Amino acid sequence: NKILLFSTYDDCLNINSLSKRRKIKFIKFQTFYKKFFNIFNISSSLLKQIFWIFKCCANGFHIKKKPIYYDIGYHIAYGVAKNQRDYAIKKIFEKKKLNVIYIFSIWKKYYSQKKSFDKPFCNENGNSANLRFFFKDILASFININSKIFIYNYLNYSLINNILYSYYNYEIFCQNFKIKYFISKDDYSSDHIIRTIVQNKYNLKNIGIQHSAFINPFGSSYICFNYFDIYFVYNEINFELYKKFSFSKEIIPIGTINIDSYLSQKNLSRENFLKNYSSKKNILVFFPSLQNSFIDYKVMSEKYRFLLYLLNNKDLDVSIFVQLRTKEMDKRRLFFNTFKYLKEFEKKIIFEKKFSTQELVMYSDIIISNDTSTITLEYLSLGKKKIILLNPRFQYKKIIPWYYLDKKFVCQTSDEVIKMINNFLKDENYLLKNHQNILSKKLLLDKRDIWENIISKLDLKS
């Protein structure tokens, strides 16, 4: 097999000799298409550059500004309202009386929380720039690359611009704030690499928290090449999977980071849940993103057909709760467009909003999780065993590490899920017996005091 690389003609000439020694084939653009492609996309990138400069101006300027110092900066990625994932972590910081600033960034869903926020906070990409720095560095750099615009192909021009946006955003950030430990949640974005470089320039550190990605490196490279001062991962298995690819200075298996948000649930909400739903077996079904261009939704739709069986079978006394990804919670129409065969059961499917994801996980009788989701790790870490894992997105099941840990744990088809559910309804200990092999692995670290352990790794005394 040959690796196919789309390339401009110039790139092809530069490294064509490589293709003779290795199995790489270059596909050249036709001359007209190449020129049109470059002109159109460079123009698009140029407009984006102008927009970024205007945005920088809109954020304002300062002549001389003394930065504010904090021990910890924390990315708001999951929301800090009660029952949201960052709420419990915020409470831990408050209890320990740490000098913390909360950073709103690319997760714009939570921007509305700024209005009622009672602690120091900032916008990562909305800070004033030093006026001299703006003219001498920012404008000078963009003028320089634009003066050579016709020697670039689109990919080079766009890449250089994106690197500069990230670099200047963090330089401007550090003109306003000096944060000893920036705890970031964007290991999947190359921006974190530039943040680490800029933080280190000022003798500060960037700390990474692993994103939801229990997947083999050959299945997805987006968190392979990370660069943090310290990178906290879920367990020893993640450590072994990614240590060859990581450029982080230190990788530490720490446990399932969000476990505190589950343990903080109150019995009162459980009582309220049982008042509404105690008469039936409650099945909570998680779904991957419904807006991902890399997913074959026809295949995925087929794998969730077990829902038809559950909803059609009058002998099964069950309630079906559907849990979409946080940013897609309000996408009911999108859900039924993806799973058209469920449209007739719209009134029987429960999209519960009165209870948080953590509450639903704690109170449901059985969980149906999906491939790489950390819900699976979190649920097992809670000591719960009534879970079924479906692999809805990947035809090649070895992409997910669960397959290597225990083949029986992974359901590849809708029929396999149905079989597991029926076995569970006959014998509630069935899943516990089936998962014994998984539970014996070095998969789950001590769930207690995870954030205490993280904070203990940071030098906050000086």
Give the tokens for residue 207: 């700390």
Specify the residue for token string 């057909």.
305
**Beta pairing, strands 100-104 & 3-7:** unpaired
Q: Please tell me the predicted confidence (pLDDT) of residue 72.
A: 96
- Check: CB of residue 367 under 8 Å from CB of residue 375: yes
Q: Please tell me the predicted confidence (pLDDT) of residue 195.
A: 95
Q: Please tell me the predicted confidence (pLDDT) of residue 318.
A: 86
Specify the residue for token string 């963090």.
170
Q: Please tell me the predicted confidence (pLDDT) of residue 328.
A: 61
Q: Please tell me the predicted confidence (pLDDT) of residue 22.
A: 45
Beta bridge partners of 390: 370, 411
DSSP three-state, residue 342: helix
pLDDT under 50: residue ranges of the chain: 1-33, 462
- Look at the alpha carbons of 104, 109, 114, 119 in this order and tell me if their dihedral is positive or negative: negative
Give the tokens for residue 256: 């399932």
Q: Please tell me the predicted confidence (pLDDT) of residue 92.
A: 86
Q: Please tell me the predicted confidence (pLDDT) of residue 16.
A: 41
Q: Please tell me the predicted confidence (pLDDT) of residue 230.
A: 96
- Check: CB of residue 398 under 8 Å from CB of residue 366: no
DSSP three-state, residue 55: helix
Cα separation values, 12 from 9, 26, 30, 35, Å: 5, 7, 13, 15
Residue type, position 417, single letter: V
What percent of the chain is modeled with pLDDT above 90?
A: 32
User: In 250-376, which ranges are E strands?
Assistant: 251-253, 281-286, 318-323, 349-350, 366-370
- Check: CB of residue 70 under 8 Å from CB of residue 120: yes
